[in-house]
Structure 1
């Protein structure tokens, strides 16, 4: 792998902390089983090259092809740390740090645009599709160009040398953790702090990039709670993050409220995610699963997996008439035309004796945080409502005895999921 850094800044090598007159501008450091070499090609161009003697960045020891040691995102992370770790500090601290041999601060000399290029960069995930790279939508100055297979050329641009280097490190970090072909990396607090600092050093990073960082990189709720204040402070506390992703947040919201003293009807059960969750919490009552798609074979497998006899497949909606207990209607209504969705809720109101009815649906006003303007959140949605439209719809059908909620991260008062719990009269 080679990293190519360029800038017209006359202090380019000073910012990099590299002296072209020392060892002819060459710096050599051991990295795993290989060596990484830094070379001051000119006063405005610097190269970092890695040569491997074994399989330093291979997930499989038995493979004889050491291709990953030449294009792995994890290698890019390691090379950046070896050569430019001094530039990963908080921008306020680095800005006022004086470079001793110049008698000037970084803010005084790092004032010109810069680029970092990696000619061959390996990405094996769904983050590049339809000729577009996901992070490029959320962070300016990131360009990914397809080459052959899962290989791309990567270029980052920054208004400063520091920014260009930190952007390439952020791309490498995300790519490593989302690649299917990757080496497991232990995530300690210092690693998390390092990349939160990089995010906060770049202006204008939107909510969704932080969402991806929390969901893909952070390993535990304890770790999340420790760093949550820093993440929210970046947005002047107009955003409140939660540890779980949107789907997990919905499951957690409903499953924490399900009681074992009453049966459950999971209307639109899908692959029984709610059943699996409540069973892990000790649910023992009868659980009825209904869906327009035939999941009966899946029901048998899951029942066998849990060694439980409380899971019942409902093949016909008419069998639901007269049901007494708790009903889950989560992420269902938007998969029907709005008229049919209203008819479904009215049918449940009039044909069951539910104690509690849990309804969730996406809030379309949140879609702007995913850089979506007119699209639905998923292709199989027939409609999506704003929270106010959802409240109006529910009030029309269920005028009494209910509580409304927002589920998930809160961005300027808007949640990704609108929810309501309706109580039987």
Structure 2
């Protein structure tokens, strides 16, 4: 792998801590089974090269072709750490640090743009789609160009040398943890702290990048709780993060409120995610699964593999008439037209004797945080409602006692998911 750093700043090598007068500007160091080579090409250009001997970054030992040692995002991350770890500190610390041989601070010297080019960079996730790299939507100065297969060229531009390196590290970080074919990496608190500092150094990083950081990198609720205050401080505490992703947050919200000894009707059951979670928590009552699509095979497999007796597939909606118990209607109504969704809610009101009805749907007011280019959050949505529109819709149908809840991260008082609990009248 080759990493090329360029800047018109004549202090580039000083900022990188690379003295062109030492060993003819060459720097060599072992990394795994290979060697890192740094070369001060000129006062305005520095090259980093990794030459492997055998399988340093091979995720699958059964594969004799170790192409990842020439393009792996993890290698890029490791190379940046080995060469430039002194720059991965807070901006406040670096700006006040004086380079003794010049008698100047970083703030005085690091004032011109820079760019980093990686000729071959491996991406095999869904983050490059329809000619657009996901992070390019949220952080400027990132250009990914397709080459062959899952190989791309990467160019990162920043207003300063430090900013460019920080952006580069963020790209390598996310690409490694989202690539399907990548090496497992243990993530400790030091690693998390380092990259929170790097993110905090970048200006105007939007909510969604931090959302991805939490969901992709943080491995435990305890680790999340440790760093939650720092993550929220970047946004002046106008955002309150939760550990679980949007889908998992919905499941936890509903499952934590389900009575384990009372029957459940899962209307729009999909692949039975709610049943699977409830069963782990000791749910033993009858569970009826219904969906417009055919999930009977999924139900049969669960019954057969797990020896389940309380799960039942109901293909015909009319066979649900008269059901008594709890009803889950999660992320269903938006997959119909508004008129069809209204008719469905009236049908439930008139034909189902629910004790509690759990309804969730996307909150369209939150979509701005995804910087979406499409009208709706997913292609198969026919409509998405604001919080008040959702409240008004439910109130127009059910005279019952209701409770509104926002689910997931809270950004300026707005949640990604709207939930309504409708109680038995």
Q: What does residue 329 of structure 1 align with?
A: 329
- The 3-state SS of whatever aligns with 1:165 is helix
Q: 5 Å matches for 1:166-205?
A: 166-205=166-205
Partner Cα distance (2:311, 2:192) in 1 = 42
Partner Cα distance (1:305, 1:424) in 2 = 35
Q: CA deviation at 1:243?
A: 0.6
Partner Cα distance (1:304, 1:93) in 2 = 60
- The 3-state SS of whatever aligns with 1:346 is helix
- 1:406–1:415 contact (8 Å) kept in structure 2: yes
Q: What does residue 147 of structure 2 align with?
A: 147
Q: What does residue 350 of structure 1 align with?
A: 350
Q: What does residue 387 of structure 1 align with?
A: 387
Partner Cα distance (2:150, 2:378) in 1 = 26
Q: CA deviation at 1:303?
A: 1.6
Please identify, of 21-30 and 298-307, the stretch whose mean Cα deviation from structure 2 is larger.
298-307
Q: What does residue 60 of structure 1 align with?
A: 60
- 1:376–1:384 contact (8 Å) kept in structure 2: yes
Q: CA deviation at 1:400?
A: 2.9
Partner Cα distance (1:420, 1:304) in 2 = 34
Q: What does residue 74 of structure 1 align with?
A: 74
Q: What does residue 251 of structure 1 align with?
A: 251
Q: What does residue 338 of structure 1 align with?
A: 338
Partner Cα distance (1:48, 1:129) in 2 = 29
Q: 5 Å matches for 1:3-402?
A: 3-402=3-402
Q: CA deviation at 1:375?
A: 1.8
Q: CA deviation at 1:373?
A: 4.9
Partner Cα distance (1:316, 1:363) in 2 = 30
- 1:56–1:69 contact (8 Å) kept in structure 2: yes
Partner Cα distance (1:148, 1:389) in 2 = 47
- The 3-state SS of whatever aligns with 2:225 is helix
- The 3-state SS of whatever aligns with 1:115 is strand
Q: CA deviation at 1:374?
A: 4.7
Deviation sequence 1:239-266 (CA, Å, 0-9, x none) = 0100100100000100011111210000
The alignment's C-alpha RMSD in Å is 0.8
TM-score normalised according to structure 2 size: 0.99
- 1:121–1:154 contact (8 Å) kept in structure 2: yes
Partner Cα distance (2:7, 2:344) in 1 = 62
Partner Cα distance (1:144, 1:180) in 2 = 18
- The 3-state SS of whatever aligns with 2:405 is strand
- 1:367–1:373 contact (8 Å) kept in structure 2: no
- The 3-state SS of whatever aligns with 2:283 is coil
Deviation sequence 1:191-224 (CA, Å, 0-9, x none) = 1011111100000000000011111111111111
TM-score normalised according to structure 1 size: 0.99
- The 3-state SS of whatever aligns with 1:283 is coil
Q: CA deviation at 1:308?
A: 1.3
Q: CA deviation at 1:312?
A: 0.6
- 1:9–1:110 contact (8 Å) kept in structure 2: yes
Q: What does residue 408 of structure 2 align with?
A: 408
Partner Cα distance (1:72, 1:296) in 2 = 42
- 1:265–1:289 contact (8 Å) kept in structure 2: yes
Poorly superposed stretches of 4+, deviation over 4 Å: none
- The 3-state SS of whatever aligns with 1:182 is coil
Q: CA deviation at 1:319?
A: 1.1
Structure 1 unmatched ranges of 5 or more: none
How many residues are matched? 425
Partner Cα distance (1:97, 1:162) in 2 = 13
